[in-house]
Amino acid sequence: MESQRFDDLQKFYSIIARLKRGLGGVRTLESCSGRLTWPKRGVYFFMEDGERRSDSGSGPRIVRVGTHALKTASGTRLWTRLSQHRGQMRSGGGNHRGSIFRLLVGTALMARHGYEYPTWGNGDSANAEIRAGEGELERAVTLFIGAMPFVWIEVDDEPGADSMRGYIERNAIALLSNFGKTSVDAPSPGWLGHDCNRERVRKSGLWNSNHVDETYDPAFLACLEEHMLAMERAA
């Protein structure tokens, strides 16, 4: 399986490279807005400065995979979810209680820089006083995530746990994750995720905690490629 995983990682990254070319390059959230043309639904793949593939080839490695609208009748759009991760570019604020990505990055920034925010991650909501006290860390998270290059793939299926978007997301995470596996494309020694308080982040090499311990279905690569080709034909 490890031999197949190595081959499948190479295929995965070849699809991502072609997707990148089709989009005209990577984007960063600090330079994006809702005024751009976004597909209604999709899957996104984040990279990070300083994080490179070391085994499966050359180029940046994917450090976060995500999607949205996995609950039936959810109306969340791709840009809505990306903007939740990005935060508010004008003020630099954000809401880590609405983005697990922001929460994870925040815990790592706290550990690395010795910040103390005892309310960080507590509860699903917080009053104005608590949010104001967390503001400096929210701004640091916004700067960090806003600078991360990313690409996306359009997968406009209906919301639900069994959606194609969910299938691609969880299998891409399982393929990329080093959690409980022979390490391939290990994170750099300086990767911020090493300081995250979640073992699944530290051991997977991803800013993900769900699906990192799962076995991937190699057939998902054909689905990923099919949607990439559909975007090329529509361009």
Question: Residue 235: its pLDDT value, please?
Answer: 86
Question: Residue 13: its pLDDT value, please?
Answer: 98
Which residues are within 8 A (CB) of 108 and not within 5 positions of it... i.e. 6 or more apart? 192, 193, 194, 195, 196, 197, 201
CA 75 to the chain's CA centroid: 20
Percent of the chain with pLDDT over 70: 100
- In tens, the pLDDT along 168-218 reads 999 999 999 999 999 999 999 999 999 999 999 999 999 999 999 999 999
What is the Cα–Cα distance from 93 to 136, expressed in whole angstroms? 8
What is the Cα–Cα distance from 173 to 85, expressed in whole angstroms? 18
* Average pLDDT for 149-154: 98
Q: How many CA atoms lie within 13 A of 113 on its CB side?
A: 14
Question: Residue 3: its pLDDT value, please?
Answer: 83
| Spatial CA neighbour of 80 closest among 159, 1, 138, 18 | 159
Q: What type of residue is 16?
A: I
Computed over every residue of the chain, the mean pLDDT equals 96
Domain boundaries, the chain: 2-234
Contact 68, 76 (CB under 8 A): yes
Name the pTM for this structure: 0.97
Question: Residue 16: its pLDDT value, please?
Answer: 98
CA distances in angstroms from 114 to 104, 108, 111, 189, 195, listed in the order given: 15, 10, 5, 19, 11
- For the cut 90, the answer to whether the pLDDT of residue 40 exceeds it is yes
Q: What angle do CA 140, 144, 147 make, to 5 degrees?
A: 140
CA 235 to the chain's CA centroid: 25
